[in-house]
Amino acid sequence: MASVKIERAKFIETVNSIIKQHSGIGLNKFSVRWYSHLMESDILNRWICFAAASKAKIIDLNLWPQGNHVGPTKQVLHFPLEALGAQDHPFIQCLFLTNVSIKPHSDICGFTKLRSLHLHCIQIIGDLLGLLLNCPSLEDLEVIACSGVTDLNIPHQLDKLRHLVISNMRIQMVELHVPNLSRFGYNGGTAIPIVLHGCSKLQKATLTFHMTWLEEDNNKVLGHVFHGIPSISAGKVLHVHASMHTNYPVWSSQVHTLTTRPACMFLNLRHLTYEILFFTKAPNRYSGILQLSQYLAFAPQLETLELHMAYHVSVSRCWHGEGVSYSMHRHDHLKTVYMSGFRCYRAQVELLCSILEMGAVLEQVTIEPMVRIPYSCDLLNLGIPRDKICEWAHRTSERFSKVITVAERPEQRCSYAISVERL
């Protein structure tokens, strides 16, 4: 305890010494990274007032919690937003806050030049929308693991907002009125309604859903981006990460036919990446991924498809069938297909066979046995010899008269490709 007190006193003394030596004008960035339980509110307020008096353009405050505990019940220090409220000459351009509490309100001022606002692990006590309405120059907004917000409504007044990230928030709805948004990221536990109004300039969307569904509902996991968030159809690049859980998989001999089409076709989509983490005891009896064969029809201009798969299984065998080609829309623009975690499970085989049959202009098809999802590989996709995958690729190449390349392990230098000449 004595050493902690000495460390705390030395840190505070050092910061105070630096502040005293500063002229107090023209400060570009003020950054503090320290343990929250070693910080007192009056010291923090004094330092923030110094940053405000010096008209710091960038303020970065990260108060690490004691231990690993971070959550809404954790008592954190309050960050005084009012200290930045210079009405005559607003100065703050970037504000990055981590592990503090804030009390935003509609009468707050001094943020008309703010371009970047990052709120990480923040206790929000008050009106976040009121703060956002007073940030007309905002271009970059991140709200991650914050408490105190149930619905996130981004107003149309933020017409300069380009980049938005919402992650690990216990919210029920996201609604955006942001005409110039170009990049959007969402990471959440459930498929909540996400409504994007007039985001016609959206270039890239990254969506992560950690959901648990019964087998008959698995199409909701893959299709939520098409049915639940139709306004992202303006985007050219879409990256989706989803978890699919089933304890009692039963193979469906027929892909469920969609009864309704999405509200919008993904006419601009050129690059689609799906990362799917499967939790199943029997991957050869699990057909949920085949739903993609129908959803791909809603992206008629698609040029590149990446599908990264990871199955949490202790042991499994490859499937020895030829692969049924399910009814699938013809793709006249799809040129590149890359599948990692390909272990010749039945659904993988049949989905790829459907793509090979309907991909009129396919130029490059690559399958990789290795998993390309950043999770522990201790129990991922075990028990399938590589030579069995290569044998399947050779037979399938001949069957569809299209080149299939089996990617090597990263440590291996020689390339191995199974190919046939086009007829």
pLDDT at 1: 44
Q: What pLDDT sits at residue 214?
A: 41
Gap between the Cα atoms of 277 and 241, Å rounded: 8
Q: State the Rg of the chain over Cα.
A: 26
C-alpha closest to that of 157 among 124, 180, 182, 125: 180
Q: What is the pTM of this model?
A: 0.81
At residue 366, the pLDDT reads: 95
Calculate the CA dihedral of residues 346, 352, 354, 358 and round it to 10 degrees. 180
Q: What is the pLDDT of residue 81?
A: 93
Say what the pLDDT of residue 416 is: 36
pLDDT at 336: 96
Residuewise pLDDT in 10s, the chain (423 residues)? 445 555 778 888 888 888 887 766 778 999 988 887 777 888 889 999 899 888 899 999 998 876 554 444 456 889 999 999 866 678 999 999 999 999 999 888 889 999 999 999 999 998 999 999 999 999 999 999 999 988 888 877 888 999 999 999 888 888 888 888 899 998 886 667 787 777 778 888 888 876 554 444 445 567 667 766 656 767 889 988 887 776 555 555 545 555 455 555 688 899 999 988 887 777 887 777 888 888 888 888 999 999 998 887 756 667 766 665 566 788 889 999 999 989 888 889 999 999 999 888 999 999 998 887 765 454 455 567 788 889 999 999 999 999 999 988 654 433 333 333 332
Buried b (16+ CB within 10 A) or exposed e, 237-262: bbbbbbbbbbeebeebeebeebeeeb
Residue 410 to residues 33, 316, 381: CA-CA distances in angstroms?
38, 23, 17
21 strand-pairing partners: none
Asked whether the beta carbons of 265 and 227 are under 8 A apart, the reply is: no
**Residue owning tokens 């193979």:** 251
Count the residues in the chain. 423
Question: Which residue is it, tokens 């303020």?
Answer: 59
The pLDDT value recorded for residue 67 is 55
Strands (E), 20-132: 29-35, 58-64, 94-98, 101-102, 116-120, 123-124
